[in-house]
Chains A and B, each alone.
Chain A
């Protein structure tokens, strides 16, 4: 299991488009993927779950991957967050 803290960098925060990007990326990996924010844990492969995070720019959260490809998955997902989901930062 790998845990990694990330920050929301883009101006618009976690609206539908980034939420969809996260879920699509997570689906590529076999590992289970959970996101924890403010003590609440949601399944990162569920768009409804990610939507409930309601995170704005600057918010921090914990990514948790468990599985055979957990290293790759963590790196790829952290990278997506760091790029601000390829949106205006």
Chain B
């Protein structure tokens, strides 16, 4: 008798790393160990103490291994995230108390460990500052690790054969450890498309979809799954028909990718000879190889604040010089644009800053202008990396002429400091600003007098312009790239900027959206800086049209009054001309 067919489930998430995979599900589970309270006989106490000692020793060994592995794969900066946990395991006082309590109260180790560490955890989780609350997570992780070892539960991360890993969430460390197996794809419930683990998955070329509600709950070990990393669709227990459909899709994508890779060394130029710069947005040094493979014209945005992730002290000038030099060398002679630290004040961990409205508060250039020493450190480091003249500097969240002039003064001061020590740098280093605050867009022609280029940050610009918080589920659908106000605003920025004789680029997500390419091209955008995986597709679109066509598209769109009209129009064109490229 045949088993009843399991129902086919289709889920839609956020595509994070391209590719199509089909295979058995491997559910990666990380749950909190359960704790029972047991009383001990006098004779058992020594055993219990020994058991506890061994668990602590094993926990230390495990963490050391992960730390070393992370250091090799991700570098010292990121591995340091685990340092706090190692220190906690060495805390003689806390563990001394734990051992004493086991002896005195005659209770089992799990109960005492859970109780004693729980006291501190409660204190830390209630702290006002974010930093201490994060240490509370470290404490909890350490506690769970000891408990797991006491119960001799191994955190399983090894499997046989090739599988699609499904999880509620995956940290960078999890992704690393799992990647030692044959992972066909990753599917998670939580996660954004720029999280650390996603960047790792892309670098490892493993198809990934995140933001899949309940995927871990709905799948079982061994279920067949199809994962489409282009569209974000995941299918559990696909029917025969669905399987065949995806096999065809997979074949088409393979051929598509092969044709795209042929474009790698060709310029991003329209059929009638209009050339634009097609660059990449990056965070990690690990992405550089991929960027070069994809044939980028350079790096249009290096998010330097990545150097602050997981670190407790601001990176020194020396450390920054080292990182920026790697970047500049790797892309030479192509240009690398380094954006100065773009963070909220609270991320600096310097003060317990709680702002009611951080989005409209102390962040971006505002923080750096207040933290003079740190700003000068970074500017000197960027200058020192510019000796081969292929580095440019960009300031985030500029909202006024006064601000950009202050920032420029700091740059001049940094130059003077280096000169006085006879340290070499590019005297004519190019300067740019991000246009993301609407006021900057309105004064674009004035800004153009102060700098060499403008780069439009659509992610924040659209939020500020339409008064919509993308992270707010209630209104996030109001965030519209193709809102007529956005389109007209973009035209304004581009025209005014070019009138001021600077080039105008875009590093926001919209630049990497194939649906927007013709429009942006027609509006006169000089540079598209996109997530590296999208480089071939955007290039293909640009190489397949005439600039005059694109201008015509832009002209028509500028007259439309609703987002729906605009999207429908663009989708129609894309379907006709580029049926292979998925456009929503």
Residues of A within 8 A of B (CB): 11-13, 15-17, 19-20, 23, 27, 43, 45-49, 51-52, 54, 56-57, 87-88
Contacts and interface: CB of A to CB of B under 8 A. Distances in A.
Interface in B306-322: 312-314
30 contacts: A11-B350, A12-B313, A12-B314, A12-B349, A12-B350, A13-B350, A15-B131, A16-B83, A17-B313, A19-B87, A20-B87, A27-B92, A46-B91, A46-B92, A46-B93, A47-B87, A47-B90, A49-B94, A51-B84, A51-B135, A52-B120, A52-B127, A54-B127, A54-B128, A54-B129, A54-B131, A56-B129, A56-B350, A57-B350, A57-B351
B94 A48 contact: yes
A52 B87 contact: no
B119 to A, nearest CB: 10
B124 A51 contact: yes
Interface SS of B by simple majority: helix
A47 B88 contact: yes
A13 B135 CA distance: 14
Most B C-beta atoms less than 10 A away, residue of A15, A43, A45: A15
A46 B94 contact: yes
Interface in B300-355: 312-314, 349-352
B350 A48 contact: no
A23 to B, nearest CB: 8
A16 B313 CA distance: 10
A28 B90 CA distance: 15
Contacts of A48: 88, 91, 93-94, 117, 120, 139
Contacts of B352: 56
Nearest to B316: A88
B514 to A, nearest CB: 44
Most B C-beta atoms less than 10 A away, residue of A16, A20, A47, A51: A51
Interface in B46-78: none
Interface in B143-166: none
Contacts of B87: 16, 19-20, 47
Given A16-B84, A48-B120, A52-B132, A87 B92 contact: no
A17 B90 CA distance: 14
B475 interface: no
B93 A43 contact: yes
B266 to A, nearest CB: 49
Contacts of A11: 350
